[in-house]
């Protein structure tokens, strides 16, 4: 599909509209139908496309149409002034809490052109620092306490090991977020290495969310991570994973306490569908807050 924007005809990626409609709360079936109708109609301009979508959404819940118009208002604000900030979503949580899978969805929903995984940053840093210099960098967060510990001496050794790894990875991630924020690019961040409340100060459009499955669900997700994700750095041994889960859950409980103190929203992961819906509602609310602050 091609449309005219600023008198220039360009290919239009309908997947961006698809993600936006899903973010608004529209079902996948109805979203697919709207996209299909647009392909047939060969809409010529962005304005006509938006009008066509609004006409279709008038048959749906008023809340969905309201959400769509809110997102369009944010786009107009972002285009009209350099003072309008880009949307940045940070999904936080310990290993195997489901944050990475949710992050993939929200790259689509928000058409984010930047994506940061703190695990990837850790891999980059391993190419800079040797195992001898920073042994705590060459392991999982729940294993780092064996190599080095940092922070309050009264904290659990596992938490102090986690904080030691965060001391190396957190600062460059924060600097990347600041730079991306200044550039105006929508961004998704996911990872364990940003403590809840650590980047919200960067700007009004930064939304931190902690993903928190119940302990039983978290345990099941953690133990099956090798079978599901095929990661070679994750032990196949069930008893080893059981022991490692105890450390991982300590990190998750620590992050929960930090989220509560910092008033970071906590999403209970019962299913990916409900979590996506709850996070989407948080995003819409945050965007309404941004619009109000800049109009």
Report yes or no: 57 and 65 within 8 Å, Cβ to Cβ.
yes
Cα 144 from Cα 258, distance rounded (Å): 20
Cα 118 from Cα 168, distance rounded (Å): 11
pLDDT at 232: 67
pLDDT at 43: 64
pLDDT at 265: 99
Cα 125 from Cα 138, distance rounded (Å): 10
Radius of gyration of the chain (CA): 21
Cα 189 from Cα 27, distance rounded (Å): 25
Report yes or no: 77 and 291 within 8 Å, Cβ to Cβ.
yes
pLDDT in tens, 104-120: 999 999 999 999 999 99
Q: Identify the CATH number of the domain defined by range 88-293.
A: 3.40.50.300
DSSP 97-131: SSHHHHHHHHHHHTT-SEEEEHHHHHHHHHTTS-T
pLDDT in tens, 251-294: 999 999 999 999 999 999 999 999 999 999 999 999 999 999 98
- Which residues have C-beta within 8 Å of that of residue 94, sequence separation ≥ 6? 141, 142, 192, 218, 248, 249, 251, 252, 255
pLDDT at 81: 77
Q: How many CB atoms lie within 10 A of CB 103?
A: 21
Residue 189 tokens, joined? 């961040």
- All residue ranges of the chain with pLDDT < 50 are none
């Amino acid at each position: 599909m091609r449309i005219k924007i600023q008198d220039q005809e360009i290919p239009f990626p309908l997947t961006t509209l698809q993600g936006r409609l899903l973010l608004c709360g529209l079902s996948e079936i109805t979203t697919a139908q709207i996209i299909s109708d647009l392909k047939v109609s060969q809409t010529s301009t962005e304005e006509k496309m938006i009008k066509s979508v609004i006409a279709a959404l008038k048959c749906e819940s008023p809340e969905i149409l309201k959400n769509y118009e809110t997102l369009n208002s944010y786009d107009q604000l972002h285009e009209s002034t350099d003072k309008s900030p880009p949307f940045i979503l940070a999904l936080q949580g310990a290993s195997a809490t489901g944050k990475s899978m949710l992050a993939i969805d929200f790259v689509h929903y928000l058409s984010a052109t930047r994506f940061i995984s703190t695990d990837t940053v850790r891999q980059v840093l391993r190419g800079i620092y040797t195992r001898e210099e920073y042994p705590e960098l060459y392991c999982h967060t729940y294993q780092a306490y064996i190599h080095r510990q940092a922070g309050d001496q009264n904290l659990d050794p596992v938490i102090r090991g986690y904080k030691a790894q965060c001391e190396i990875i957190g600062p460059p991630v924060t600097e990347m977020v600041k730079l991306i924020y200044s550039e105006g690019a929508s961004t998704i961040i996911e990872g364990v290495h940003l403590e809840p409340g650590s980047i919200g100060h960067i700007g009004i459009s930064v939304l931190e969310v902690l993903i928190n499955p119940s302990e039983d669900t978290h345990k099941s997700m953690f133990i099956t991570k090798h079978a599901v994700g095929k990661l070679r750095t994750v032990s196949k041994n069930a008893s080893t994973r059981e022991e490692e889960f105890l450390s991982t859950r300590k990190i998750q409980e620590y992050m929960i306490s930090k989220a509560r103190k910092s008033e970071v929203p906590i999403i209970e992961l019962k299913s990916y569908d409900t979590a996506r819906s709850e996070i989407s509602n948080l995003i819409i609310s945050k965007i309404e807050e941004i619009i109000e602050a800049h109009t």
